[in-house]
Amino acid sequence: MKYDFTTVEPKWQKAWEENDAFKAVDFSEKPKWYGLVEFPYPSGAGMHVGHIKAYSSIEVISRKKRMQGYNVLFPIGFDSFGLPAENYAIKTNTHPHDITEKNIAHFSDQLRKVGFSFDWSRVIATSHKDYYKWTQWIFEKLFEHGLVFRSKTLVNYCPHCKVVLSNEDSQGGKCDICHSEVVQLPKDVWFLRITDYADKLLDGLNHVDYPDSIKQQEIAWIGKSTGAFVNFRLAGTDEKLEIYTTRCDTLYGVTFMVVAPEHPVLDKYKDRIRNWDAVEQYRKESAKKTEFERTQLVKDKTGVKIDGLMAVNPITGKEIPLFIADYVMMGYGTGAIMAVPAHDQRDYDFAKKFGMDIVQVIKGGDISKEAYTGDGEMINSGFLNGYTNKKDSIKAMLKHIEKEGIGHKGVQYKMKDWAFNRQRYWGEPIPLIHCPKCGTVTVPEEELPLELPPVKNFEPGTDGQSPLAKIDSFVNCTCPKCGGPAKRETDTMPQWAGSSWYFLRFCDPHNDKAFADRKKLEYWMPVDQYNGGMEHVTRHLLYSRFWHRFLYDIGEVNTPEPYAKRTYQGMILGADGEKMSKSKGNVIDPLDIVKLYGADTLRTYVMFMGDYQSAAPWSDEAVRGCKRFLDRVAGLTDIMTAEKEDPKLENSLHKTIRKVTEDIDNMKFNTAIAAMMSLINEFYKAGSITKDDLITFIKLLSPFAPHITEEIWQYIGMNPDGKTFITLSSWPEYSEEKAKDSVIELGVQVNGKVRGTVQLAADVSKEDALAAAKAEPNVSKFLEGATIVKEVYVPGRIINFVIRK
């Protein structure tokens, strides 16, 4: 059969859609399977080959699951709020809404052209008001449950995008959107109390099937540590300076204290500080440093000793000096530390530079050279002397300080609360109202969605004010509680809000009474497999698990974790091995490949190019190799002439069914395709195959290359009415019996070196196998005149003669 993909592919795409081939059925009797891919941000650039790879895994598995009799939900939508559209709109003097709708249409068209089996009746977009109504509704629930709070603290701020960023959005000190340096500014910001969920987010990882790399990264990001809070008194005052430590058992070794430059205690005791000028100067300098600079100079410690203020070591009663230094961060712990130079390298470096005492309290190491951070016997530590186990000494000290009232056990997280408001236009308006009488109140549920006003000028204010603040008709409102005049919150939600619950909406996308019907949620959730990028592990994945867990806690959803299984894909690099980027000119447009070779070729290549989880460079030649393979598949109809099944081919066929079935389940798509390539080589070598051979083969291939297999299926008369699709037929079953080899080839080693091979019946006896091996000419050559010390026979694997001459 000759086939022309330019006509065949659109033909089947249309036929599938017209016949609702991929429609997920609520409450079907069949077992459900919910496969999810990260819905795209509809950028102006259109789809990237990375999207194709990311979606193809769940696509292939979904198509196979349908054939295996599952009721599959494989939805798609658009994460359509966000800064790039807004920035682009400003640049081109258009409106983000129009641009977004245009991009969504473009993306939808591209996705269809690749032949993905999405259920298009469930498509959603986070910027549509029937969707963001429920994003706002969930936010109000969070507010009602005390998980939203306002606080003026140092936050990450991107001067280029003119927005406050969360910690997750400024990893590595860079803005997640524009990659420029983030600065720390004191701002009044809305936070979501994600840290309240830190333990639940950690525990949830024990109940899901995620790769270790993902679990570890989330655990590290949450960064839980257990320790103690201890109060140090300022000498001559009642002021208590609280510190956090994981090693309270080293209290006897504390010889000075350090507070972060921003620590408020300094201002409070300004009058007593004799070198205030120096302190202020140091503060200014450290404020100027970027986060990057502040964390780079690890060795060279800077700081200023505070003249006029001393602290008191609560356990020894000794007065100790107090410093400010920027190696102590305001954002972790209490912004103040007890310094134990003998057992902490940073404190050690600092003590050496400023001539502080170094008191060893744990035996071991050489503290004349460096801090000793290992374990050992406690010394110079009063009642702790003689303890040799870290756990025990910490426990004993904790008991002591709790009894004395100078401290208590505590937990700290590296993760910070989620800075949630953005001073930009193209996002969900935060549904809060500021009333001078009632305080902050939520917009009543019946008034949701709080619609984004359609304005012309949405440029961000230079003073960090949201564009919405300029619209009086939006800002001024009446308080829903007292009816008095009030003002609306003018900031919008961050990029990640809408994506934090979209998988729930797919279960019931058109519901206008609830974010989703409870019964439908119970039917579809949890997501059985969710594929996405590694870059979202400490952003979207964490945020969405948090929202979902909250909804579970308030009884709105039926599972504590949203995703039963998470997988990820490796990046597609440019042909030069570099990350694809416009500036390098190595970007591949997936639609160019579709035009040139067809969607099936693109899909097959993307799955064949290498291990799914690994990064691999693009190769135009290798793409053509996949096209060649598919052309050979089309040619199979010409050799479909055999009447009787060849037992050897049948054996290979059943082995291939087993291999492809297992490989798809294990995401080993490259070897699944390789197995089919091997089989087709065998087919052509055999010269003729039966119709059943062909049917089985194209069924196996159909999840990868659905169009060509659909065309062959019809060509050989399997689709007389035009809607009996191969993609909805049954997945081939293999028989272990038929997949078994009757003759096996075994390697024969002499002293561990392969010297020959023997052909043996699969059920050969040990004696016969060894005899045949000894008779193999090249083996017998080595055995001549030697004593066989040992005969190793592993059935089906190897024969090894250990000899001595």
Partner RNA sequence: GCUGGUGUGGCGGAAUAGGUAGACGCAAGGGACUUAAAAUCCCUCGGUGCUUACACACCGUGUCGGUUCGAGUCCGACCACCAGCACCA
Alpha carbons 60 and 704: distance in angstroms, whole number: 6
The dihedrals phi and psi of 188, each to the nearest 5 degrees, come to -90, 110
Alpha carbons 661 and 700: distance in angstroms, whole number: 8
Q: In the complex, what is the shortest distance from the CB of residue 797 to RNA, in angstroms, rounded to a whole number? A: 3
Q: Which residues pair with 174 in a beta bridge?
A: 181
Q: Locate tokens 């999207």: which residue?
A: 51
Q: In the complex, what is the shortest distance from the CB of residue 100 to RNA, in angstroms, rounded to a whole number? A: 27
Q: In the complex, what is the shortest distance from the CB of residue 611 to RNA, in angstroms, rounded to a whole number? A: 3
Q: In the complex, what is the shortest distance from the CB of residue 600 to RNA, in angstroms, rounded to a whole number? A: 15
- The angle at the Cα of 310, spanning 305 to 313, to the nearest 5 degrees, equals 115
Q: In the complex, what is the shortest distance from the CB of residue 406 to RNA, in angstroms, rounded to a whole number? A: 16
Please report how many Cα atoms fall inside a 13 Å half-sphere around the Cα of residue 484, on the Cβ side: 9
- The angle at the Cα of 560, spanning 531 to 553, to the nearest 5 degrees, equals 135
DSSP 8-state assignment for residue 383:
G
Both tokens assigned to 758: 């023997």
Q: β-pairing, 432-435 with 485-488? A: antiparallel
Nearer to RNA, 19 or 171 (CB): 171
Alpha carbons 161 and 300: distance in angstroms, whole number: 33
Q: Which residues pair with 234 in a beta bridge?
A: 311
Nearer to RNA, 560 or 617 (CB): 617
Nearer to RNA, 4 or 621 (CB): 621
Q: In the complex, what is the shortest distance from the CB of residue 345 to RNA, in angstroms, rounded to a whole number? A: 8
Nearer to RNA, 587 or 739 (CB): 739
Nearer to RNA, 27 or 684 (CB): 684
Alpha carbons 638 and 396: distance in angstroms, whole number: 83
Q: In the complex, what is the shortest distance from the CB of residue 659 to RNA, in angstroms, rounded to a whole number? A: 9
Nearer to RNA, 80 or 800 (CB): 800
Nearer to RNA, 468 or 677 (CB): 677
C-beta separation of 320 from 257 below 8 A: yes
Nearer to RNA, 230 or 448 (CB): 230
SS3 378: strand
Nearer to RNA, 582 or 685 (CB): 685
Estimate to the nearest angstrom the gap between the alpha carbon of 721 and the chain centroid. 44
Q: State the amino acid at position 783 in one-letter form.
A: L
Q: In the complex, what is the shortest distance from the CB of residue 664 to RNA, in angstroms, rounded to a whole number? A: 13
Estimate to the nearest angstrom the gap between the alpha carbon of 471 and the chain centroid. 38
Nearer to RNA, 469 or 739 (CB): 739
The 743-750 sheet, strands edge to edge: 753-761, 743-750, 798-804, 787-794
Alpha carbons 671 and 27: distance in angstroms, whole number: 35
SS3 79: coil
Estimate to the nearest angstrom the gap between the alpha carbon of 272 and the chain centroid. 51
Nearer to RNA, 14 or 179 (CB): 179
Taking CA atoms, 23 is separated from 20, 72, 115, in Å, by 5, 8, 14
Question: In terms of Cα–Cα distance, which of 696, 703, 662, 667 is closest to 679?
Answer: 696
Alpha carbons 587 and 574: distance in angstroms, whole number: 6
